[in-house]
Amino acid sequence: MLDYLRLEVRRTLRDTGFVIGGVAMPVMMYLLFTNLGDQEGSWKTASMVGMAAYGALGSALNTGGGVAEDRTVGWLRQLRVTPMTSREVVLGRALTGSVTVLPAIVAVLAAGGLVNGVRLDAWQWAAIAVLLWLGSVPFTLLGLGNGYRLTAQTTGVVNMVCNLGLAVVGGLWFPLSLFPDWLRSLSAYTPGNRFASLGTAVADGHAPTLGTITVLTAWLLLFGSYAVLSYRRSGRTV
């Protein structure tokens, strides 16, 4: 399975579209949003976390695109006849998603510290990166579920809609204070909002709340069940 993991990571990191859309785009959006007019330092920090979460979210969902392409070219069929179990195949793909979210997180955090002058303690930088890395797992499972269930073209469209929808409604692009009251209340139950809250809590100097952990765990179970059901369904069609 380790050989399979190395193969998938290399395939993903060599993808120009992944590098531009998953790494470069969040950095450019962060620098653009935080350097238009006079911005407070607190917004530069909050936006840094939000854009790092946005980049990680998109990279995690991108894992599903690779799965859908594998189904199209017959690679998934070949994997089913290897000694690897179904659990190892899914785990390998999930680990790939976990590894490939790191470049987006690190790139945005680096832009915040080196370009925008964000200042945090060393433990805060490390904790934000680790929490966003771990918190991206539900979105990897969502992407895998889409990839196992949908065609390659449809998976790309659905993942893009999921990425934009979760980012906007979750407040990853704009402060929640700009939202109407009803949308602000709804946002608190979305995985994107709680995902970013992992980092913003640490940036504010305290641990993530129990509510954040609870909501993310619920979404993890939901997306995980979706991925498992989609994989089982793909076994009847591939």
pLDDT tens-digit map of 125-183: 999 999 999 999 999 999 999 998 888 889 989 999 999 999 999 999 988 888 889 99
pLDDT at 39: 64
Residues of the chain with pLDDT under 70: 1-19, 37-41, 70, 72-90, 92, 235-238
pLDDT at 195: 97
pLDDT at 235: 65
pLDDT at 85: 62
> What is the tally of structural domains in the chain?
1
pLDDT at 23: 84
pTM: 0.86
Distance of alpha carbon 165 from the chain centroid: 13
> Domain range holding 152?
2-235
